[in-house]
């Protein structure tokens, strides 16, 4: 084991031009997307973040137990503002220190305060230990593919104006691949080019860093073999379309075995609900290199074939495509990588998730849209929850979050008459090493929609999903307890439900929230308290000396 020090993350402003419009954006080391952090399983990682901008900020390493830095007993380095730490003030710095234990794959780091993650994000690549090869043929090369969104306007102004009005924010102007939106109406924006050589194989590390859009990714004429999701190896399967929700990652093998030419890459949104979204499609290209000219004339520049091969764009409401992709994801469940889904359950929770409408004196309409879990709209405290828990500070939160919906109704049917929610900083308490099952139940209040839901501090097993209301008698009989996929972010289908299980073996405070940034802003979030076990190896250690203060 050794310490990998990824230099310094300097958070700075940089003027950037996209879609024929220039604006300053918040970046790490001046790059968008930010730099990739490379490390190896069992490495200790030390990242010093210095804030040179006027925004408060935190950095969250989306690395949760085999899908990232699970932050085993290092919750102080998890990152969400006012949950595990106070924000890093302008001019200050904080050292994130954690160990990559039992983890390998592709992950995501991003800012975890306000909407700064629109430009403050990047990839984390955790390579397996040197003595452990991939459980699939080693590719000739690897490529990082980061999908995102781009606003011409200042993103913080967009969300602040919407919050003041109590309405949804303006949708993004374009989707991007590695920061490039590609050709666009009235603007010949530069697109990303994926260079490949004929006969070689490539591991594509695909990350959805978008704020609010679930996305399709496909390459004309090529099939992709999925081998990993959220940094956990999966049973390989072939597809022509990758589906990724915000915060999710997918690794897939690409074989460059087609005729020499250029092949269109399509990034398009998925939305099967009657709500506003960025319906733009971004185009890039895969480009084969011609090897004959470089072989004949070693000093010359290889020529590129001009032929462009096209592909169809998935319909934005292509629910069958998303379902087929999600249903195809299975854990390896091998001797080396066993599936350890809990077979018994200590905490059986039913969480309804959706939106509501609350009074708002400062809003023009007198009301505002809010998000909620079990009818609780989460109030972020002014003191970090983990500090309040560790130091036993009273009055910051309560531990009475409801395990079941307070009012039973037809969750996926018409909206009930009363759609007002309760506000509170309410947490749910778990004993150390207890087993937890959560049924995430979507609702049709105002409008049903998909909710990619993310749990910090743990991976979970996705044991079942379906449309309509969860049936506690019939549906558990169909649960997959043999080889369910292991993730840390999962989409709850529109007007449907998803069931997950995990073991609460990581003490601390752990955030659960919708990874659509608009819903997180509205309060569709909660947190778990996981109590200490026995002895120091099962207990939360003291905070570091440089922990930011509120």
159 secondary structure, DSSP code: H
As a three-state string, the secondary structure of 9-26 is EEEEEEEEEECCEEEEEE
Does 394 share its domain with 259?
A: no
Does 278 share its domain with 416?
A: no
Spatial separation of the C-alpha atoms in residues 187 and 183, rounded to whole Å: 7
Spatial separation of the C-alpha atoms in residues 268 and 282, rounded to whole Å: 7
What is the C-alpha radius of gyration for the chain, rounded to an integer number of angstroms? 23
Any domain includes 351: yes
For residue 72, the model assigns a pLDDT of: 60
pTM of the entire predicted model: 0.94
- Closest by Cα among 120, 157, 152 to 27: 120
For residue 281, the model assigns a pLDDT of: 95
Task: Give 17-22's long-range contacts (Cβ < 8 A, gap of 24+).
Answer: 18/150, 18/152, 18/174, 18/176, 18/179, 18/180, 18/181, 18/189, 19/150, 19/152, 19/173, 19/174, 19/181, 19/184, 19/187, 19/189, 20/186, 20/187, 20/189, 21/152
Does 12 share its domain with 149?
A: no
Does 390 share its domain with 480?
A: yes
For residue 97, the model assigns a pLDDT of: 85
For residue 525, the model assigns a pLDDT of: 98
Q: Which two tokens stand for residue 417?
A: 């008459």
Does 75 share its domain with 167?
A: no
For residue 303, the model assigns a pLDDT of: 56
Domain that holds residue 498: 347-538
For residue 315, the model assigns a pLDDT of: 97
In the listed set 83, 107, 132, which residue is the last one of a domain according to the structure? 132
For residue 8, the model assigns a pLDDT of: 80
For residue 1, the model assigns a pLDDT of: 41
Does 4 share its domain with 116?
A: yes
Any domain includes 546: no
For residue 188, the model assigns a pLDDT of: 86
Does 265 share its domain with 356?
A: no
Any domain includes 548: no
CATH number of the domain that 128 lies in?
Answer: 2.60.40.420
Q: Which stretches of the chain drop beneath a pLDDT of 50?
A: 1-3, 5, 62-69, 293-300, 305
For residue 360, the model assigns a pLDDT of: 95
As a three-state string, the secondary structure of 375-405 is CEEECCCCCCHHHHHHCCCCCCCECCCCCCC
Any domain includes 58: yes
Does 452 share its domain with 477?
A: yes
């Amino acid at each position: 084991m050794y310490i990998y020090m990824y230099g310094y993350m300097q958070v700075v402003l940089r003027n950037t031009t996209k879609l024929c419009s220039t604006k300053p954006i918040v970046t790490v080391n001046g790059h968008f997307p930010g730099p990739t952090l490379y490390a190896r399983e069992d490495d200790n990682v030390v990242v010093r973040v210095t804030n040179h901008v006027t925004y408060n900020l935190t950095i969250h390493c989306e690395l949760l137990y085999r899908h990232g830095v699970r932050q085993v007993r290092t919750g102080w380095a998890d990152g969400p503002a006012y949950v595990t730490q106070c924000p890093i003030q302008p001019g200050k710095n904080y050292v994130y220190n954690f160990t990559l234990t039992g983890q390998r794959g592709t992950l995501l780091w991003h800012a975890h305060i306000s909407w700064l993650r629109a430009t403050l994000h990047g990839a984390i690549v955790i390579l397996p230990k040197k003595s452990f090869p991939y459980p699939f043929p080693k590719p000739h090369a690897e490529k990082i593919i980061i999908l995102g969104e781009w606003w011409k306007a200042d993103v913080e102004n967009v969300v602040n104006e919407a919050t003041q009005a109590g309405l949804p924010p303006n949708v993004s102007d374009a989707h991007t691949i590695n920061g490039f939106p590609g050709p666009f109406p009235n603007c010949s924006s530069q697109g990303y080019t994926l260079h490949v050589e004929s006969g070689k194989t490539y591991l594509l590390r695909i990350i959805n860093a978008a704020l609010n859009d679930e996305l399709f990714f496909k390459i004309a004429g090529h099939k992709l073999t999925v081998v990993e999701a959220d940094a956990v190896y999966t049973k390989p399967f072939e597809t022509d379309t990758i589906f990724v929700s915000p915060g999710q990652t997918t690794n897939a093998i690409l074989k460059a075995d087609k005729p020499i030419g250029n092949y269109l890459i399509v990034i398009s949104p998925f939305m099967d609900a009657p709500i506003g979204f960025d319906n733009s499609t971004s185009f890039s290209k895969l480009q084969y290199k011609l090897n004959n000219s470089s072989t004949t004339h070693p000093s010359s520049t290889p020529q590129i074939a001009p032929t462009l091969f096209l592909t169809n764009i998935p319909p934005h409401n292509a629910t069958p495509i998303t379902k087929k992709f999600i249903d195809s994801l299975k854990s390896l469940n091998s001797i080396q990588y066993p599936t350890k889904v809990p077979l018994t359950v200590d905490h059986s929770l039913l969480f309804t998730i959706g939106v509501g409408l609350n009074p708002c004196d400062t809003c023009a309409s007198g009301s505002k849209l809010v998000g909620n879990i079990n009818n609780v709209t989460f109030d972020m405290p002014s003191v970090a929850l983990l500090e309040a828990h560790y130091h036993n500070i009273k009055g910051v939160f309560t531990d009475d979050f409801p395990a079941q919906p307070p009012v039973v109704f037809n969750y996926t049917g018409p909206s009930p008459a009363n759609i007002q929610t309760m506000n509170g900083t309410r947490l749910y308490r778990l004993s150390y090493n207890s087993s937890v099952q959560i049924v995430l139940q979507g609702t049709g209040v105002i409008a049903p929609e998909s909710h990619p839901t993310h749990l910090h501090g743990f991976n979970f097993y996705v044991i079942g999903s379906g449309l309509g209301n969860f049936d506690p008698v019939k549906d558990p009989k169909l649960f997959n307890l043999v080889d369910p996929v292991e993730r840390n972010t999962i989409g709850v289908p529109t007007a449907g439900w998803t069931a997950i299980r995990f073991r609460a073996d990581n003490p601390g405070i752990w955030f659960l929230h919708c990874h659509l940034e608009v819903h997180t802003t509205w309060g569709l979030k909660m947190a778990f308290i996981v109590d200490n076990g026995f002895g120091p190896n099962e207990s939360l250690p003291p905070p570091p000396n440089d922990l930011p203060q509120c």
